[in-house]
C-alpha cells in the first residue's frame, strides 16, 4: 500500500441508489452510459472518506471482530451512504458475497468479471465452500449475473441466489456500426510480460504466428494485431510483433495513456473488422457471441497440455471442431481460418448459439440489468 497515493474525501456525496464496490473492475464494465445513477466505493486503498475511516479504525481496536479495517470501512460506508443496491464486478473478493448478512434489506448483486478457466472456477469453489462450512449454510446474495447458463451448475451448490445469464456487460453496450474490412485478419494478442510463456514456449508462439502470417500472405489478407499489454508495456509488445512480422502489420493498443481507465478500445475497433483469431482471451468469446467470425487456437500454445484447458470450458466439447483447434499444426490453423471466412451466415449463427452462448450470452444494450435496476 502506497500512502502517498491515497486520496482523502471529507464531504458526503449526493445520494445514488447504486453503490459500486471496487472501481478497478467496474470502470471496464459500466453497464450504462449514465453517470448519475451510482456512487463508487474504492476498495484498493485509492481513496477513503476520512471520518468513516477514523471510525473504522476505532471499531477495529475497541470491538475486535474477524474483520479487517478495510472490511469495517466498507460496512460503515454502506451504512452512511445507504444505497438501495450494492453491486460489484469483483467476483473473487469473497467478503462481498457476505454483505447480505450485514444488510438483509438491501439488494446485493455480484457480476462475473471475466471468463473463468477451470483453474479460477475451482479456486472459487474451494473458497466459497470454506465460507459456507464456517457459516453452516449457503451464502446468500440477491442476484448473480454470470456470463452463461453453463456456469450455473458450479455456483448453484454454493450460493443461494437468482442467476441471470447476462453475458459480458461491456460487450453488450450498443456501439456504432462501421463498414467491415473483410480483407484483414485480426490476431487478438495474448502477449504478457509477467508469465514465462514467451520464454519457456517462445518457439511455439513464434511458429504459430508465422503460420498465421503465411496464411495471410497466401490469401492476400492484411495482418492486424489487437494488443493486450498495459500502456507501460506496449512498447515491448510492439517490438515483439515487429520482430515476428517484420513491421508488416497494423497494431491497435487496448488502452492509450491519455485515458488509461476507459474500457478497452478493442470493442469499438472490432466493429471495423469481421475475421479474428483468438488464443485464450475473453475478447474472442465476446466478439463471437455477437456474430463476429472468430477462430480459436487453444491450450497447448499457452500452458502445458491440460484436459480441462480447452475451448468452451466448462462445456464438454471435442478438442477440435469447425472453428477451433488445440494443435499448432499448419493444416489445422489453415482449416479453421478457412472455415470462418467461408461459412454461410445461417450456419455460423447456429454454431454460435450451440457452442458460445451457453458460456457467454449476448444481451444487446444490457436490457436484463436495466430491468433489475429500473434505469
Region of poorest pLDDT, from 115-124, 301-310, 350-359: 301-310
Quote the DSSP letter at residue 257: T
Rg (CA), the chain: 22
Q: Is residue 24 within 8 Å of residue 91, measured between CB atoms?
A: no
Burial of 374 (0-12, 13-18, 19+ CB in 10 A): exposed
How many other C-beta atoms lie within 10 A of the C-beta of residue 36?
7
Residue 212's closest CA among 251, 245, 253, 182? Answer: 245
With a cut of 80, say whether residue 164 has pLDDT above it. yes
Read off the pLDDT of residues 210-234 as tens digits, 9 standing for 90 and up.
999 999 999 999 999 999 888 888 9
Q: Looking at residue 2, what is its pLDDT?
A: 45
User: How many residues are recorded in the chain?
Assistant: 375
| C-alpha cell at position 269 | 475497433
Residue 95's closest CA among 67, 53, 63? Answer: 67
Domains contained in the chain, CATH given: 3-168+364-373 (3.40.50), 184-355 (3.40.50.2000)
Instruction: Determine the Cα–Cα distance for residues 250 and 184; give it in Å rounded to an integer.
Output: 10
**Helix ranges (DSSP H) in 277-366:** 282-289, 330-342, 345-355
Q: Peptide bond before 291: cis, by omega within 30 degrees of 0?
A: no
Q: Looking at residue 307, what is its pLDDT?
A: 56
Record the pTM.
0.88
| C-alpha cell at position 143 | 442476484
Residue 180's closest CA among 271, 313, 63? Answer: 271
With a cut of 90, say whether residue 198 has pLDDT above it. no
Q: Looking at residue 205, what is its pLDDT?
A: 80
In sequence order, the 6+-apart residues with CB closer than 8 A to the CB of 15 are: 81, 82
| C-alpha cell at position 182 | 473483410
Q: What are the strands, taking DSSP E only, across the chain?
A: 7-9, 18-21, 38-41, 47-49, 85-88, 107-111, 139-146, 159-165, 184-188, 222-226, 250-252, 275-278, 293-297, 324-325
Find the angle CA(58)-CA(64)-CA(69) to the nearest 5 degrees. 55
Q: If DSSP codes are grouped into helix, strand and coil, which group holds residue 69?
A: helix
Q: Looking at residue 145, what is its pLDDT?
A: 97
Instruction: Determine the Cα–Cα distance for residues 303 and 204; give it in Å rounded to an integer.
Output: 11
Q: Looking at residue 129, what is its pLDDT?
A: 92
* Percent of the chain residues past pLDDT 70, beyond the cut: 90
Amino acid at each position: 500500500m502506497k500512502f502517498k497515493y491515497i486520496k482523502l474525501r471529507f464531504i458526503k456525496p449526493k445520494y445514488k441508489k447504486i453503490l459500486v464496490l471496487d472501481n478497478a473492475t467496474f470502470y471496464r464494465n459500466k453497464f450504462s452510459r449514465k453517470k448519475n445513477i451510482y456512487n463508487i466505493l474504492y476498495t484498493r486503498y485509492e481513496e477513503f472518506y476520512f471520518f468513516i475511516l477514523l471510525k473504522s479504525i476505532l471499531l477495529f481496536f475497541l470491538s475486535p471482530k474477524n474483520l479487517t479495517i478495510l472490511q469495517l470501512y466498507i460496512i460503515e460506508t454502506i451504512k452512511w451512504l445507504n444505497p438501495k443496491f450494492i453491486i460489484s464486478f469483483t467476483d473473487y473478493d469473497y467478503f462481498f458475497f457476505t454483505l447480505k448478512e450485514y444488510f438483509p434489506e438491501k439488494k446485493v448483486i455480484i457480476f462475473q468479471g471475466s471468463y473463468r478457466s477451470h483453474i479460477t472456477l475451482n479456486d472459487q469453489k474451494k473458497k466459497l465452500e470454506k465460507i459456507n462450512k464456517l457459516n453452516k449454510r449457503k451464502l446468500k446474495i440477491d442476484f448473480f449475473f454470470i456470463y452463461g447458463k453453463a456456469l450455473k451448475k458450479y455456483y448453484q451448490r454454493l450460493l443461494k441466489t437468482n442467476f441471470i445469464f447476462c453475458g459480458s456487460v461491456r460487450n453488450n453496450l450498443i456501439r456504432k456500426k462501421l463498414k467491415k474490412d473483410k480483407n484483414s485478419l485480426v490476431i487478438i494478442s495474448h502477449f504478457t510480460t509477467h508469465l514465462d510463456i514467451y520464454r519457456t514456449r517462445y518457439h511455439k508462439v513464434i511458429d504459430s504466428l508465422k503460420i498465421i502470417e503465411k496464411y495471410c500472405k497466401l490469401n492476400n489478407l492484411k495482418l492486424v494485431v489487437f494488443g493486450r499489454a498495459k500502456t507501460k508495456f506496449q512498447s515491448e509488445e510492439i517490438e515483439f510483433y515487429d520482430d515476428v512480422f517484420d513491421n508488416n502489420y497494423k497494431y491497435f493498443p487496448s488502452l492509450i495513456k491519455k485515458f488509461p481507465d476507459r474500457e478497452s478500445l478493442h470493442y469499438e475497433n472490432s466493429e471495423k473488422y469481421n475475421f479474428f483469431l483468438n488464443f485464450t482471451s475473453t475478447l474472442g468469446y465476446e466478439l463471437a457471441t455477437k456474430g463476429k467470425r472468430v477462430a480459436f487456437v487453444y491450450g497447448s500454445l499457452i500452458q502445458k497440455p491440460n484436459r480441462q484447458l480447452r475451448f468452451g470450458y466448462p462445456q464438454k466439447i471435442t478438442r477440435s471442431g469447425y472453428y477451433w483447434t488445440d494443435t499448432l499444426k499448419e493444416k489445422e490453423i489453415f482449416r479453421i481460418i478457412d472455415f470462418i471466412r467461408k461459412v454461410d451466415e445461417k450456419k455460423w449463427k447456429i454454431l454460435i448459439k450451440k457452442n458460445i452462448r451457453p458460456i457467454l450470452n449476448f444481451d444487446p444494450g444490457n436490457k436484463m440489468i436495466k430491468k433489475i435496476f429500473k434505469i
